[in-house]
A and B are shown apart, each in its own frame.
Chain A
Amino acid sequence: SQQGEEDPQALSIQEGENATMNCSYKTSINNLQWYRQNSGRGLVHLILIRSNEREKHSGRLRVTLDTSKKSSSLLITASRAADTASYFCAPRVIQGAQKLVFGQGTRLTINP
């Protein structure tokens, strides 16, 4: 299966705390992408990490990739109420179409 599986399914933390979400996948990948979806909206691309990268930062986001374990993590530091959303990982397979297949996502709730 091409899709990633996010863990945990739901996460609730206090504002200001850090949030960590994990993603596991099964196939060899070219890159892995993280997306955010606010309720009732489309997805927003957050960050892309290539298979030859181990860590990447973008603002308060930190993504790691371990290709030997076929896993990735997304860390959001100093969380804000506006970070409340569902987060999806999308592995991009090496041999395959351009399509992305999404898992169930992690529903993150930031409590004020």
Chain B
Amino acid sequence: GAVVSQHPSRVICKSGTSVKIECRSLDFQATTMFWYRQFPKQSLMLMATSNEGSKATYEQGVEKDKFLINHASLTLSTLTVTSAHPEDSSFYICSAAGTGQETQYFGPGTRLLVL
């Protein structure tokens, strides 16, 4: 099956710093990538949808200037949490889908802890 990786798997940073999370599709071209966040024992909340070469579409309530998404190639999307605060601590998960693919393939997630 299709494989999606995320890096890093875990990151701890100080409040006020920026953190970049990478999402890569390893064996297929991901025309669309999705970014989710998940708090403990809660569901995944879709943050944004990004299509390769286009600006990301953010869900209502998600600050686009705080969560910068770049999808510059068919195999890589990045999420940058700018000026991170403790309330940004969460589990961030990406998923990817290729053209015509009806299912999404998920990365293993990145656990962010902001001190």
A residues at B contact (CB < 8 Å)? 30-31, 33, 35, 40-45, 48, 88, 92, 97-105
Contact = CB atoms under 8 A, between A and B. Distances in A.
21 contacts: A33-B103, A35-B106, A41-B108, A41-B109, A42-B6, A42-B107, A43-B44, A43-B93, A43-B95, A43-B106, A88-B44, A98-B97, A99-B34, A99-B46, A99-B49, A100-B34, A100-B104, A101-B46, A102-B43, A102-B44, A102-B46
Given A41-B108, A42-B95, A98-B32, 7 more contacts: A40-B109, A42-B93, A42-B106, A42-B107, A45-B1, A99-B46, A100-B34
Contacts, number: 53
Contacts of A104: 42-43
B108 A42 contact: yes
Contacts of B111: 40
Interface string B1-36: 100101000000000000000000000000010100
Contacts of A100: 34, 46, 104
Query: What DSSP secondary structure best describes chain A's contact surface?
Result: loop
B105 interface: yes
Interface residues of B, number: 24
A45 B44 contact: no
B102 interface: yes
Contacts of B97: 98
Contacts of A103: 43
A97 B43 contact: no
A43 B103 CA distance: 11
